[in-house]
Amino acid sequence: MRPLVRLLTALLFCGNFVLPLQAQLNTDAYFKYLDEHKNMTAQELLLEFPAGVFAATAPSDLSNAEFFSAIDLKYKFTPYEKELTAKHGFMVTERLSFPTYAAAFADAYVKDLPVYISSDAILHALHRSYDNMLADIETYILEPQLFKALLAMKATLKTSTIPKDPLAQQARLDADIYLTVALQLIKLDYHYKTLNYPADATFPENTPAIEKIRALIEAEQLDFYPIFAQTPRHIDFSQMKPRGHYPDKGLSGYFQAMMWLGRTEIFITKPEGAVPEPSDEDIKRQCMLAVTLANLAQNSGAVDNFNTIDKLITKFVGAQDNLSLSKLIGVNSTLAITSPDQLRDDALQKQFQDESIKNGAQQQILSQLLWADAFKLNSIKPAAAFMLMGQRFIFDSYILGNVVFDKVGSRMMPSPLDAMFVLGNDASIQLLQPEIEKYEYAKNLAGLRYLSNSQPKDFWEESLYSTWLSGIRSLNPPKDRSGLPRFMQTGAWWQKTLNTQLGSWAELRHDNLLYGKQSYTGGNSCFYPKGYVEPMPELYATIARFGTSMKAAIAGYVVDTLIYDKYYSRVLDTMRARLDHITTTCTTLSSMAEKELRSEPFNEAEHNLIENWAEKKSYGCGNTTYQGVYPQMMYGVSKDEMTQPNFVVADVHTQPTDLLGAIVGKVLHVGTSTVNMALIIAEDPSDSCSTAYIGPVGSYYEHITDDFYRLNDEEWKTMYYKNKMPTRPAWVYSYLASDSGKTTGEPQTLVLGGVAQQPILPGKTPAIPISSVLVSFTPNPISSSAILTVDVPPTLFGKTVVAKMYSSTGEFIRELFCTSSGGGKYSAQWDGTTSIGTAVASGAYLVRITIGETSAILHCTVTR
């Protein structure tokens, strides 16, 4: 007998699409592309999507970088940390770790150090606000709506007409089980425990079945149970374990109720790959159950409650990956089905099934245990199904589910790098190359990328989830990196950026665990003297649009005062005000990032943003209040919580079996931990001086558990405190120093070559002849060393004087000096070496002298 393997699909969410996302994906073109590229190799994939060669180094002269000595004095960098910085122009160290970004920014603030504002920090603020806002919306709007809907349906069920057909009568009993389990789960939450509403079975004979299902939910394991059928099926009850923000926010009951309603498939057609296969009578019974539930929702008025819930979740995450309640009601209307008795007619049932599939019943993401022959690929097909509040189709989950068995030979577990490549990060396949060669799935990645690239721009911004994904995509390395700061041309930097992308993706998945459908396999003055914004303008612009979209999404909604006191009605007003602040701040950051790329100085308002980043400047020193620009970007985070760890973990994919069919229950998690300090050497856009900046960036982890064990945040945090964290991916080692400030190990790198270039940009026409500035570089030709002298005339007093040396091809050699001119003569000795102390070869060189907006070039020759 051939080995059997099951496939489960990863939980993710997608956008708020006018049409369901899966309806917009041109899967016919995708499968055609797959067929045309069925023999594609890893090397051909690299040629098809070239990331190019990344600079191996960006040598930086730390001794000549403004403020480096001050930062070094406070943080006492180790030799290895300095070595990394001198090599790449930046480094990140685990030795300088903080529980939160706010705490790290505050530390640099009280030490009077120039601040580096990372994309990590902005994305983390987005996560904190989104997570807390979603929790409040669930608490004050969604859960009350769900509670009232279930009560109404159960009340209507009690007095509903008893069908004539015995199977339809059984479907009526099934509806009681389905609704009662959900209601009992909600009653676990604090605000609903004491409410005097019945949550027992409407029909007492259902009590044993309800108790059995509740026991299975509490066991949190894979089980084989005959739900709404005579034939049992595999059900992964481990997904019912409350995770994400739900335990901390008192929403565990809501989480379980929505997970029950979102994952308990009511089959419309048979799944391909179910072992054993459900009987025809099982399918008919469940079709009748779907009709029964639709009638109850309509007759009780609960359909309005469910539409409110669905509309809001669709705006946040995306459309359901199944037949929704509103679509089911439409199907029944089209076919004039008013009673489950009518589906006893096989011909009408077939029409019902066909019409349901036309309306989105066919699931695109496999999220339960189905089986396939190990030698027969693409043989698993989930059932067309109805769910009262089904989980959402999300594109990144679709990606992960299409790069494992049964779509790819014997590959049982995806890599998060798969998702990053399909989302546009070409560099990630350089790191994936060994795995692509091993499992021969280049064509799958290429096909998914074809699908991704073919989507219009608005595809990525039709829900808050997809807008967040769009922000992550904006961090992909550009093909042409020559115009970027030197440290951003290195492979090490783009591996750091990959860490940023995946860390934010982990937070995105964490915040939306409930709704996204998971894939299965089968004493100081206290100020910032300067500030540098990571120059990623499109990211900040995207987050600004996110804030605007989220404010629009919650427009018109109010707190349910039937359950909550009117005091809480102000929650949504606070939320809207905070979203305005996020939008305004990120719009400003986008403008600042663009100015840095153009070497333009910040204006007064932008300088004020830097000065007030961690704390309002007017508050002075003393107790940190966390009232600055950055802390105020985080909705729902109290002063005390600003320094409390926000480590998150999310399970993103499930591998139920090994290749031989044995149940293993492996669960892939992604997570974050402490923030680490980054040291960046970059040009100050106001004066072009090489300047050192310090600021926090994130950490990213991957971890696999067995036996369907799904970690929650508290368990993840406990692993950290017990020193049981997994090792970080090897590709972070190229820029990361360990917690002792030493090497973290042998790095996995992108394709590297050469030194980061800093081409000489055409300067403005000198306002005065070079001769009148009295520049000399003697001796010239130079055999060993020379002295550069700049005599600044009175007309240029008060301007910053910068002198930098380049090769004749534009390669940056080193900075000779950068200082604010009070007038007079300035000189520096050059010893014939680069910024890292390597002797230059004989040849022609250039010295670019800039005084304010005046620039000039001096030629010299080195002879050895």
pLDDT at position 270 is 92
Most confident among 112-116, 193-197, 376-380, 810-814 (mean pLDDT): 112-116
pLDDT digit string, tens, across residues 306-363: 999 999 999 999 989 899 999 999 999 999 999 999 999 999 999 999 999 999 877 7
Amino acid identity for residue 857 in this structure: I
Do the beta carbons of residue 247 and residue 714 sit within 8 Å? Answer: yes
Q: Write down the pLDDT at residue 44.
A: 96
Q: In what order do the strands lie in the sheet with 690-697?
A: 531-533, 115-117, 690-697, 675-683, 90-98, 736-737
Structure tokens at 856: 């000039």
Q: Which of 637-651, 812-826, 829-843, 849-863 has the lowest mean pLDDT?
A: 812-826
Least confident of 494-498, 675-679, 748-752: 748-752
Conformational region of residue 614, where left means phi above 0, alpha means psi within -120 to 50, and beta covers everything else: alpha
Domains of the chain as residue ranges with CATH: 770-862 (2.60.40.1930)
Q: Average pLDDT, stretch 198-220?
A: 97
Rounded to 5 degrees, φ, ψ at 196 are -85, 65
Q: How many CB atoms lie within 10 A of CB 538?
A: 16
Note the pLDDT of residue 97. Answer: 98
* Range 590-608 average pLDDT: 94
705 beta partners: 667
Instruction: Tell whether the model's pLDDT for residue 751 goes beyond 70.
Output: yes
Q: What is the pLDDT of residue 456?
A: 86
DSSP H/E element including 804: strand 800-807
Residue 115 near residue 613 (C-beta atoms within 8 A)? yes
Give the pLDDT confidence of 651-695 residue by residue, as tens digits.
999 999 998 889 999 999 999 999 999 999 999 888 778 999 999
Tokens describing residue 652 = 């993103």
Q: Is the pLDDT of residue 762 over 80?
A: no
Question: Phi then psi for 790, rounded to 5 degrees?
Answer: -125, 120
Q: Is the pLDDT of residue 530 over 60?
A: yes
Residue bearing the bigger pLDDT, 513 or 2: 513
Beta-bridged to residue 57, according to DSSP, are: 755
Backbone angles phi, psi at 693, to 5 degrees: -130, 150
Of 659, 656, 664, the C-alpha closest to 2 is: 659
Model confidence at 819: pLDDT above 90: no
Model confidence pLDDT, tens digit, residues 153-184: 999 999 999 999 999 999 999 999 999 999 99
Mean pLDDT of 770-785: 77
Q: pLDDT at position 111, please?
A: 92
pLDDT at residue 667, rounded to an integer: 97
The percent of residues above 90 in pLDDT, for the chain, comes to: 68
Q: Per the structure block, which two tokens stand in for 379?
A: 């043989």
Q: Where are the alpha helices (DSSP H) in 512-626?
A: 537-553, 571-597, 604-611
* Separation of first and last alpha carbons in the chain: 76
Q: How many Å separate Cα 299 from the centre of its chain?
A: 41
* Residue 261 backbone dihedrals phi, psi, to 5 degrees: -75, -20
For the residues 261-267, what does the mean pLDDT come to? 96
> H helices then E strands: how many in the chain?
27, 24
Q: Which residues pair with 136 in a beta bridge?
A: none
pLDDT for position 798: 74
Average pLDDT, the chain: 89
All residues at 6 or more sequence positions from 144 whose CB lies less than 8 Å from its CB, including other chains: 560, 562, 563, 564
pLDDT at 540 over 60: yes
Q: What are residue 649's DSSP bridge partners?
A: 671
Tell me the C-alpha distance between 790 and 852, whole Å: 14
What span, in angstroms and rounded, lies between the C-alpha atoms of 413 and 333?
Answer: 43
Tell which phi-psi region holds residue 635, choosing left (phi > 0), alpha (psi between -120 and 50) or beta: beta
| Pairwise CA distance, residues 486 & 688, whole Å | 13
Rounded distance, CA 796 to CA 801, Å?
9
pLDDT at 775 exceeding the cut of 90: no
- The pLDDT value recorded for residue 522 is 63
Q: Which amino acid is at 622?
A: G
Q: Which of 248-257, 308-317, 450-459, 495-504 has the lowest mean pLDDT?
A: 450-459
Kindly tell me if the per-residue pLDDT of 515 is higher than 90: no
Higher pLDDT, 829 or 853: 829
What is the rounded distance in angstroms from the CA atom of residue 333 to the CA atom of residue 326?
11
Q: Which tokens in the block code for residue 343?
A: 């589906």
CA 29 to the chain's CA centroid: 28
DSSP string for residues in 406-437: TTSTT--S--HHHHHHHTT-TTHHHHHHHHHH
What are the Cα distances from residue 101, in Å, to 37, 97, 272, 455, 528? Answer: 45, 10, 48, 35, 16
Contact by Cβ (8 Å): 602, 595: yes
Amino acid at 305: N
b/e map 724-738, b = 16+ CB within 10 Å = ebeebbebbbbbbbb
Pairing of strands 854-862, 843-851: antiparallel
Kindly list the distances between the CA atom of residue 265 and the CA atoms of 6, 228, 268, 367, 816, in Å, as whole numbers in the listed order.
17, 10, 9, 10, 69
Tell me the C-alpha distance between 219 and 567, whole Å.
Answer: 38
Mapping DSSP to helix (H, G, I), strand (E, B) and coil, where does residue 15 land? coil
Q: Are 514 and 244 in contact (CB under 8 A)?
A: yes
Which distant-in-sequence residues (6+ apart) come within 8 Å of 839 by Cβ?
832, 833
Q: Is the pLDDT of residue 524 over 60?
A: no
Q: Which helix (H) or strand (E) holds 144?
A: helix 143-159
Range in 1-15, 334-348, 713-727 the model is least confident about: 1-15
The per-residue pLDDT for 619 is 55
Q: Residue 560 — very low, low, confident or very high, per pLDDT cuts 50/70/90?
A: confident
Amino acid at residue number 110: V
More confident site: 855 or 279: 279
pTM listed for this prediction: 0.89
CB distance 592 to 539 below 8 Å: no
Q: State the Cα–Cα distance between residues 219 and 213, nearest whole angstrom.
A: 10
pLDDT computed for residue 446 by the predictor: 95
**Residue 608 dihedral angles phi and psi, to the nearest 5°:** -65, -35
The predicted structure's pLDDT at residue 689: 84
User: Tokens 């026991």 correspond to what residue?
Assistant: 215
Helices 302-316 and 143-159, axial angle in degrees (round to 10): 150
Strands 786-792 and 775-778: antiparallel
Which residue shows structure tokens 């990213």? 700
State the Cα–Cα distance between residues 104 and 380, nearest whole angstrom: 49
